[in-house]
Amino acid sequence: MVYDVVIIGGGVIGAAIARALSRFQLSVILIEKEYDLAMGASGANSGIVHAGFDPLPDSNKASLCVRGNRLMESLCAELQVPFKRTGSLVVGYSPDDLRVLEVLLARGRLNGLSGLEVLNQTQLMAKEPSLSPQARYALYAPQAGIVCPYTLTLALAENAVQNGVEVQCGTRADGIQREQGRVSGVVTSRGLIPCRYVVNAAGVWSDEVANWAGSDSHTIMPYRGEYCLLDKKKGGLVRQVLFPIPGEKTKGILVAPTVSGNILLGPNRRLVQDREDRATTDEGMDEVLTGAKKLVPGIDEKDVITSFAGIRAVSDSGEFVIGTADLKGFINVGGIQSPGLTAAPAIAEMVTDILGEEGLRLREKPGYIPRRTGIFSFAAAGMEERQSQIAENRSFGEVVCRCENVTTGEIIAAINGPVGARTLDAVKRRTRGGMGRCQGGFCSFRIADIISSELGIPVDKITKSGPGSELVRSRT
Catalytic residues: 50
DSSP designation for 353: H
The CA-to-CA distance between both ends of the chain, in Å, stands at 46
State how far the Cα of 437 lies from the Cα of 411, in Å rounded to an integer: 19
Report the DSSP pairing between strands 182-188 and 173-179: antiparallel
How many residues would you count in the chain?
476
State the greatest distance between any 2 C-alpha atoms of the chain, in Å, as a whole number: 67
Read off the amino acid at residue 360: L
- Say if residues 356 and 210 touch (Cβ distance below 8 Å): no
474 has which bridge partners? none
DSSP designation for 423: S
Task: Please count the CA atoms within 13 angstroms of the CA of 210 that sit on its side-chain side.
Answer: 25
Triad 91, 94, 100: Cα angle to 5°: 60
State how far the Cα of 385 lies from the Cα of 467, in Å rounded to an integer: 38
Triad 456, 461, 462: Cα angle to 5°: 80
- Say if residues 310 and 225 touch (Cβ distance below 8 Å): yes
Classified as helix, coil or strand, 137 is strand
DSSP 211-275: HHTT--S--EEEEEEEEEEE-GGGTTS-SSEEE----SS----EEEE-TTS-EEEE---EE-S-T
Beta carbons within 8 Å of 45's beta carbon, 6+ residues apart: 149, 225, 267, 310, 338, 341
Task: Please count the CA atoms within 13 angstroms of the CA of 292 that sit on its side-chain side.
Answer: 29
